[in-house]
Amino acid sequence: MPDPVCIVGGTGALGFGLALRLGRAGVPIVIGSRDGARAQEAADRARWRVPAGNFGGRENPGAVRSAGLVILSVPFRSQSETLTNLKPALGQDQLLVDATVPLAAAVSGKATRTLGVWQGSAAQQAQEMVPEGVRVVSAFHTVSAALLTDLEHELDEDVLVCGNRREDKARVSELVDRIDGLRAVDCGPLEMARIVEQFTPLLISINVRNKVRAGIKITGLHT
Amino acid sequence: MPDPVCIVGGTGALGFGLALRLGRAGVPIVIGSRDGARAQEAADRARWRVPAGNFGGRENPGAVRSAGLVILSVPFRSQSETLTNLKPALGQDQLLVDATVPLAAAVSGKATRTLGVWQGSAAQQAQEMVPEGVRVVSAFHTVSAALLTDLEHELDEDVLVCGNRREDKARVSELVDRIDGLRAVDCGPLEMARIVEQFTPLLISINVRNKVRAGIKITGLHT
């Protein structure tokens, strides 16, 4: 059985969708939330949707301690505070998969625009904030939360993965590839997240124009 | 027969590839260059590759005056100077399709990084520089020059189009769709070019890692 994965913000749309899909793929999931009761309630909902899945729900620090790989899926306005609170819980050799997008909506701006982050990207801000030894990989910015949550929908798109260590990206890619219809694509070092995080507002713009839930696929790859 | 299209920078890799593909699709092409002889030489090469095509070559100002739609395909370091020189030639109701990417390579930086452009993007810089009445549409940042030029290669990817007027984007999309295997996707107003222009360095990063010539496809669209 694969190692458990913790999803901080697993009560939100994207986090919950990832929990469902990964849970269905046989990955034990611990949903984390600031509110332990809400986390448990989300785990119950997930279990109801995917009865064969292994779902738990806990307050963030406990949830994070229980997993080697932590997916951070919170709105940009909460990213910094969440990471500050998680610092004591994050330990050596943990992998933090950051899915944060610095949408201008965080400061009442448009969802088709982003904020400039001093470090370059939300993922690089996360890397600056986590304790030494914790590595950040950036992923999951282009997959629609609604399509992940709709388990009848057959996915057919890519997840763009950025990170500084090949073995960390391989670990995240292995997780991505467990989900039917998703393919992980290595996009280079973590600094490339400043580009990949921009894809979300672009897809939002395409969605609005075409009344769809768009995703991204990289053409020309051999796999 | 469709209106002639002028490609400023049609002697370069991307511009020449577009000339070949559009010429093969029956669009009359005028290749523009600072050097009229080089433009004619490129037109000869294009005719040799696509004997049925209609190719001419002229110095930039004359080339631009001969077409309603002008594709600007020059390196970022030449974009501003080229536009300054083209000002007297560009007239009301002409459409400028900007394919410029502000790669950091323009100032000896990495091709996987971009420069910050004060106006937001190279396309918005172009919009600021052209005479009033000339509209700018942004396109052709994600299609590999090498794959365009390799006429044996069957394309299967998208061209992301940004612009402020729906009818301008429709005109460019109609042109894109003439090329077999390319599909135009409306990405929203011109300001979205600041995101789309970032796709080029990302694809370069993916190319380096995977030894491919990657492109982009938007999933979930109905067409």
> How does pLDDT run across A91-144, given as a tens digit for each residue?
988 999 999 999 999 999 999 999 999 999 999 999 999 999 999 999 999 999
Does position B1 have pLDDT exceeding 90, yes or no? no
Cβ–Cβ below 8 Å for B220 and A144: yes
Per-residue model confidence (pLDDT) at position A199: 97
Q: Return the CA Rg of chain B.
A: 16
* Cβ-Cβ contacts under 8 Å for B28 (sequence gap 6 or more): B1, B2, B3, B4, B5, B54, B55, B56
> CB-based contact (8 Å) between B205 and chain A?
yes
**Residue of A103, A141, A144, A195 best to disrupt the B interface, most CBs of B under 10 A:** A195
> Model ipTM?
0.92
Q: Is A145 in CB contact (< 8 Å) with chain B?
A: no
pLDDT tens across B43-82, in order? 999 999 999 999 999 999 999 999 999 999 999 999 999 9
pLDDT for the residue numbered A210:
92
A196 touches chain B (CB under 8 A): yes
Tokens of A146: 């609604």
Which residues from chain A sit within 8 angstroms of residue B206, using beta carbons? 185-188, 218, 221
CB of A163 less than 8 A from some CB of B: no
Model pLDDT, residue B184: 98
B220·A214 Cβ contact <8 A? yes
Contact B218 A221 (CB under 8 A): no
Which is nearest to B6 in space by CA: B71, B55, B61?
B71
B219 and A218: CB-CB below 8 Å? Answer: no
Q: What residue of B is the nearest CA neighbor of A217?
A: B217
Q: What was the pLDDT predicted at B172?
A: 98
pLDDT, tens digit (0-9, with 9 covering 90-100), for B83-136: 999 999 999 889 999 999 999 999 999 999 999 999 999 999 999 999 999 999
Contact A216 B215 (CB under 8 A): no
CA-based nearest residue to A71, from A79, A38, A190:
A79
For A192-221, what is the mean pLDDT? 97
Quote the CA–CA distance of B169 and B18 in Å, as a whole number: 18
What number of C-beta contacts closer than 8 Å exist between A and B?
A: 104
Average pLDDT, chain B: 96
- Put simply, the answer to whether B202 touches A187 (Cβ < 8 Å) is yes
Contact of B148 with chain A, judged by CB distance below 8 Å, is answered with no
Name the residue type at position A155: L
Can you give the pLDDT at residue B92? 85
pLDDT tops 80 at residue A223: no
The torsion angles phi and psi of B118, rounded to 5 degrees, stand at: -55, -40
The predicted model gives A160-166 an average pLDDT of 98
CA distance, residue B200 to nearest chain A CA (Å): 10
The tens digit of pLDDT for each residue in B124-174 reads: 999 999 999 999 999 999 999 999 999 999 999 999 999 999 999 999 999
| Interface residue A78 vs chain B (CB under 8 A) | no
Quickly state the pLDDT bin for A1 (edges 50, 70, 90).
confident
The verdict on a CB contact (< 8 Å) between B216 and A215 is: no
Q: Which of B185, B215, B221 lies at the smallest CB-CB distance from A219?
A: B215
Q: How confident is the model at residue B64, as a pLDDT?
A: 97
In this predicted model, what pLDDT tens digit does every residue of A30-72 receive, in sequence order? 999 999 999 999 999 999 999 999 999 999 999 999 999 999 9
pLDDT for B93: 84
Residue B2 has pLDDT above 90, yes or no: no
pLDDT at A189 over 90: yes
Establish if B213 touches chain A: CB-CB under 8 angstroms.
Answer: yes
Q: Which of B142, B159, B138 lies closest to B95 in space, CA to CA? A: B138
Q: Which residues of B touch A208 (CB under 8 A)?
A: 188
Residue A2 confidence (pLDDT): 82
Looking at residue B103, the DSSP 8-state letter turns out to be B
Residue carrying structure tokens 């222009």: B197
d(CA A131, CA A84) in angstroms, rounded, equals 10
Q: Under DSSP, is residue B54 helix (H, G, I), strand (E, B) or coil?
A: coil
CA–CA separation, B209 and A218 (whole Å) = 13
CA distance B98 to chain A (A): 18
